[in-house]
Structure 1
């Protein structure tokens, strides 16, 4: 029986392709399922040979650790160069979006606390 190895929902195409290539390099046989027309099915990579589950999981875990470190390093470098927008930059660029978000949060907080205010 096949074993679910890697969910593909909300995974960027580039990352999914790199995982497919990594598994192919190590001759780990998988098959892929799609989400389907109504997006009800599970888009995923499924391992055919369950005896290689630990090996495949180890490869994917190592890849994801390396990807995480690479993304953090890239973000830190962009931030050091002044290219990564901070909170204040976003506030200055999109003041209306921030204002609408704060109003929505205030309304949700008010509605959540209303039963406890004994008015």
Structure 2
């Protein structure tokens, strides 16, 4: 029976490729399900045999530890070199998106406060 090893939601392509290569190198049979058309499921990497899961999980844990250290070091290097995008740079690059997001947040807060404001308005008349 199959066992899900990696849900591919928010997984970068290079990481998924590394996991595939790791499983092939370890001779662990797997298959991949594609994402569906509407984005409800994003696919996954499945082990064909559930009994391979402990070994695959151990390999995954080691890979993720190594990847975490590598990615953090790369990000720190970009930050030191001034190549890491700051919040202000992102705001300047996408001003419409930022304003729209802030407006949406303000609207949601207003809707959440509306019952309390309604009580206040009704009580003062």
Cα distance change, pair 3–75 in 1 and its aligned pair in 2 (3 A): same
Q: TM-score, normalised by structure 2?
A: 0.79
Aligned to 2:17: 17
- TM-align CA RMSD: 2.2
| Helix, strand or coil at the partner of 1:31 | strand
Match of 1:112 in 2: 112
Compute the TM-score of the two structures, normalised by the length of structure 1.
Answer: 0.82
| Higher mean C-alpha deviation, range 5-14 or range 58-67 | 5-14
Change (3 A) 1:82 1:42: closer
Unaligned runs of at least 5 residues, structure 2: none
State the SS of the aligned residue for 1:62. helix
- Which is helix-richer, 1 or 2? 2
Task: Give the match for residue 62 of structure 1.
Answer: 62
Q: What stretches of structure 1 of length at least 5 have no aligned partner?
A: none
Larger Rg: 2
CA distance in structure 2 between the aligned counterparts of 1:11 and 1:41, rounded to whole angstroms = 13
**Compared CA separation, residues 60 and 98, structure 1 to 2 (3 A):** same
Aligned positions, number: 119
